C-alpha cells in the first residue's frame, strides 16, 4: 500500500493521511487494485466550462476543496475528515472500509477521505473527468486499533459526473 501513499503525493495531496500509522487491509481476502488516475467519466461539455463549476459540485456533495492546481486542471479534497455521513448520505454509500458485525465501518469510523478530479479535453469537444477516491478509516471507539483502507464504491465519481452535467445545463 506504500504505492498508494506515493500516488497520493504525486497527484498533489502531499503527506500521508492520518500519518501516525500505516493503514492495513483488515478482513480482505484479496488486496484491491487501485487505479491512481481514477475512474473516467465523459461529459458533453468543454473543459473550461467544467473547470468553472467543478468546485461548486464538490461543495454540493459535502466535499471541502482544499487542493486546486489550475495549470493541470486538478481539483480536490485531500484527507477531509468525515464521520458517518458525507453531505446527507451515509459514508458507506461512497466508500467500503469493511464491516464489523455486519455494520459498515465507514458508518462508524472517522475517515480521512481523498477525492481528486482531473479535467481533460477530448478531441470531440467533450471532457473526460478522472476522479480518484480513497479513504483511511480510524476506529475511535477503542475496540480496534490502527487504520484501514477505504475503497471507492463508485457512487461519488458518478455523483461528480452528474453534478457537472446538471450545473452545465443551467
Q: For residue 75, what is its C-alpha cell?
A: 481539483
Closest to 98 (Cα-Cα) out of 151, 19, 134 = 151
Question: What does the CA dihedral 49, 72, 136, 1 come to, rounded to 10 degrees?
Answer: 140
| Percent helix, percent strand, percent coil in the chain, to nearest 5 | 30, 35, 35
| pLDDT at position 20 | 38
> On the CB side of 87, how many CA atoms lie within 13 Å of its CA?
13
Distance CA 170, CA 167 (A): 6
| pLDDT at position 15 | 56
Q: For residue 120, what is its C-alpha cell?
A: 481533460
In the chain, which residues have pLDDT < 70? 1-12, 14-37, 141-145, 170
| pLDDT at position 88 | 92
Q: For residue 63, what is its C-alpha cell?
A: 466535499
- Condensed to tens digits (0 to 9), the pLDDT of residues 109-153 reads 999 999 999 999 999 999 999 999 999 998 876 665 678 899 999
| pLDDT at position 85 | 95
**Bridge partners (DSSP) listed for residue 85:** 90
Complete domains list, the chain, with CATH: 2-28+36-169 (3.30.530)
| pLDDT at position 142 | 61
Distance CA 94, CA 88 (A): 12
Phi and psi torsions of 43, nearest 5°: -120, 145
Q: Is 156 helix (H, G, I), strand (E, B) or coil?
A: helix
| pLDDT at position 67 | 95
| pLDDT at position 1 | 47
Amino acid at each position: 500500500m506504500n504505492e498508494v501513499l506515493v500516488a497520493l503525493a504525486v497527484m498533489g495531496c502531499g503527506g500521508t493521511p492520518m500519518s501516525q500509522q500505516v493503514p492495513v487491509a483488515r478482513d480482505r481476502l484479496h488486496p484491491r487494485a487501485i487505479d491512481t488516475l481514477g475512474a473516467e467519466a465523459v461529459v458533453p461539455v468543454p473543459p473550461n466550462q467544467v473547470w468553472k463549476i467543478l468546485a461548486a459540485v464538490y461543495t454540493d456533495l459535502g466535499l471541502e476543496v482544499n487542493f486546486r492546481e489550475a495549470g493541470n486542471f486538478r481539483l480536490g479534497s485531500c484527507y477531509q475528515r468525515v464521520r458517518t455521513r458525507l453531505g446527507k448520505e451515509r459514508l458507506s454509500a461512497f466508500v467500503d472500509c469493511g464491516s464489523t458485525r455486519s455494520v459498515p465501518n465507514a458508518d462508524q469510523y472517522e475517515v480521512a477521505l481523498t477525492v481528486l478530479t482531473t479535467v481533460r479535453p477530448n478531441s470531440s469537444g467533450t471532457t473526460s473527468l478522472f476522479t480518484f477516491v480513497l479513504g483511511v478509516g480510524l476506529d475511535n471507539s477503542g475496540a480496534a486499533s490502527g487504520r484501514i483502507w477505504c475503497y471507492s464504491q463508485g457512487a461519488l465519481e458518478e455523483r461528480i459526473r452528474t453534478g457537472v452535467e446538471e450545473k452545465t445545463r443551467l
